[in-house]
Structure 1
């Protein structure tokens, strides 16, 4: 079956009563429990589990005793939530909620391999505490929590169980699952990633142990990666005045984010494999480090005042996703090379098949053209031409322009967006090739892409 990542959204476990969950697919499976998760674990065998829960679990449920193992375990462990409510910081609050959910899983007899990601709530789900956040923060934290696992593990399937999600959780979790599938495609070179979404029948009021179907509501083979365009201007967006030290940290992280993603994702969005190798070879910051720094600043600025949780920063989910995409390209590509050998660029082609099939064939055709011209012109003739030019210009020459290699007229070297896309970034006046088949751009790559309108714009 292949490796599976099983993601479940959990709201308030104290409210879940016992039920007989039913899966009716090729064979009928039933399991009595207070949550749908064990039945899906039975179906998907050795799946890794990820739980997306809300920080609002700290708002302790106290509206009367309920029937079932979920409530019994909740009641047994509520002291952990009371401890989290007394936390001196938001970081400690999240750790306390995470510990509670991990202990809850163990109490309910659910496999302990689950990763728990505590995400920000919005409003007042429990009725007493209030949480001033946005659904985008939930998405960003969920991506930051699960993205690294998808970079490490080559899951062939992502299963999303929306049964116990509340408010905006199901809608945002579906978007997270789709983006994780994109990360898996790039990082591990898969042809496709299966995405399956489940949700149960509603729990009838005043029922005891109802039979609830666990419905497969969506199934998709994810084959293409979506690169966000435009890109967010900022990874972290202040919502109120910050102290000078935090403000400087936010400025630094936002600048590092832009440097990390701008050229790399532009070279992915358009078919520019040589520019991709250049940008990745120049990257000064590790994408995951930038993401982790941003997450740390975000968490540090969330204040807990009594029963009010309020953040001072917004995390942009598209920006987190952009950083994860760059890291996924690094994992899928291996060590970048610039100047790049033609055979190394050929190894890059498969990466673009996950972005756009037409772009994939454009790149294959253009590399074949360069290889054919090299074979025809012979490396010795290129070396002689370079030697003569070095003597005339009194400086070493990196290579001849592609237009010279093709035996064609060399016009001015102005980047042309249409030509660059049509020729996979190898506009003949702008690219140099040496006798060994190593190619590079004549000038500054970022400036060239900017002049050609080939940089994905940033937008507020």
Structure 2
């Protein structure tokens, strides 16, 4: 049995005004700048915004070790009166400076972290950040997915431990949303279930507590997918997913903030806006597209079938068992359609889903006249007619 894996994801705003406090953790008291000192995980990830490298705070609120981390990461530190501000050094890439900064802060507490960075929105330190929601979501979802992959071969339970103690603005909400999206991809990749927990440290008392916990063990779609391979999962047609997912490339999206300075505040732009939903659908299509089954018995055991919603899973299992029973009654030597195997009339052979796709959905995509069964050694292969792809367009 594969052991559970835990991915810790912390939302960090600007560390400039962080002070070390004593956190009341489940295992006792721990001192640190951040509640990360309470966490136990296989991999530690910090989600940070670009605006953290143009932040400012009162000098009296800034710990010297945070300033050392900022300077050591290549940021410029400016002290004006009672204010301290950080800025990226001219000519340096902002993202790389941000990652070094967050890593240095974590190292000051004895932790090694990976950093997922996204754009920001709003006016911070004289810089107007203009990232659109799709910029932010695309980088966050795919950035966190790379961290899931880095945990190694999937299996058992994946726990995403989301620490929102230090998150600012939209960070906690968008991180929880991203975690829910990633659950589907993780299930398709091979995890049995995904547990999502949200943690926070109470102000002044600094008691580290779980606020929310949920477990996901089947695919849940938040919108009707557009990519055909994923639409096949939406309709509970796993053989169509297996055929179509091979055509989808692994998604990738990365951006670099581009400051434009002139009159007024400097604008920080992010280039062409991506479609995060399209990128996420590509991730779903790609995540489960490995170790694809080739025979009837393999389809019956395929983990993707087990991760369909409960109704779709029962329909698929019923159809596959029905095919197996029909084959047990007849010694098949070559190939035949399901209609011929069951002694049915092929009345719809030339027009699958001409009006609607009710039959397609009801039979897990295995239309009698458009599904071919062939003997393969001691097993059987199944082939679907490409004309049934139109059923996914309904």
- Shift in Å at residue 406 of structure 1? 0.7
Name the structure 1 match of 2:298: 344
Rounded Cα–Cα distance in structure 2 between residues aligned with 1:73 and 1:102? 12
Rounded Cα–Cα distance in structure 1 between residues aligned with 2:150 and 2:304? 17
Name the structure 2 match of 1:166: 168
Rounded Cα–Cα distance in structure 2 between residues aligned with 1:94 and 1:319? 24
Name the structure 1 match of 2:111: 111
Asked if 1:48 is matched to 2:47, the reply is no
Q: Normalising by structure 1, report the TM-score.
A: 0.74
- Shift in Å at residue 50 of structure 1? 0.6
Rounded Cα–Cα distance in structure 1 between residues aligned with 2:91 and 2:383? 55
Name the structure 2 match of 1:93: 94
Partner SS, residue 285 of structure 2: helix
Name the structure 2 match of 1:309: 268
Q: Is the 1:4–1:158 Cα contact (8 Å) retained in structure 2?
A: yes
Deviates more, 1:210-219 or 1:74-83: 74-83
Rounded Cα–Cα distance in structure 2 between residues aligned with 1:426 and 1:110? 55
Q: Is the 1:34–1:68 Cα contact (8 Å) retained in structure 2?
A: no
Asked if 1:65 is matched to 2:60, the reply is yes
Rounded Cα–Cα distance in structure 2 between residues aligned with 1:186 and 1:158? 16
Pick the aligned partner of 2:20 from 18, 35, 46.
18
Partner SS, residue 146 of structure 2: helix
- Shift in Å at residue 122 of structure 1? 0.4
Rounded Cα–Cα distance in structure 2 between residues aligned with 1:70 and 1:216? 29
Name the structure 1 match of 2:30: 31
Q: Identify if the C-alpha distance between structure 1 residues 157 and 117 changes in structure 2 by more than 3 Å, giving closer, same or farther.
A: same
Partner SS, residue 159 of structure 1: strand
Rounded Cα–Cα distance in structure 2 between residues aligned with 1:200 and 1:328? 34
Name the structure 2 match of 1:215: 209
Q: CA RMSD in A?
A: 2.5
- 1:364-383 matches, cutoff 5 A: 364-380=317-333, 383=334
Pick the aligned partner of 2:243 from 278, 292, 313.
278
Rounded Cα–Cα distance in structure 2 between residues aligned with 1:412 and 1:47? 53
Q: Identify if the C-alpha distance between structure 1 residues 272 and 87 changes in structure 2 by more than 3 Å, giving closer, same or farther.
A: farther
Q: Number of residues paired by the alignment? A: 369
Going by fraction, where is strand more abundant, 1 or 2?
2
Q: Normalising by structure 2, report the TM-score.
A: 0.85
Name the structure 1 match of 2:316: 363
Going by fraction, where is helix more abundant, 1 or 2?
1
Deviation sequence 1:342-382 (CA, Å, 0-9, x none)? 1232232x3233221121111111111112222222124xx
- Shift in Å at residue 180 of structure 1? 2.3
Q: Is the 1:227–1:322 Cα contact (8 Å) retained in structure 2?
A: no
- Shift in Å at residue 183 of structure 1? 2.2
Gaps of 5+ in 2: 78-85
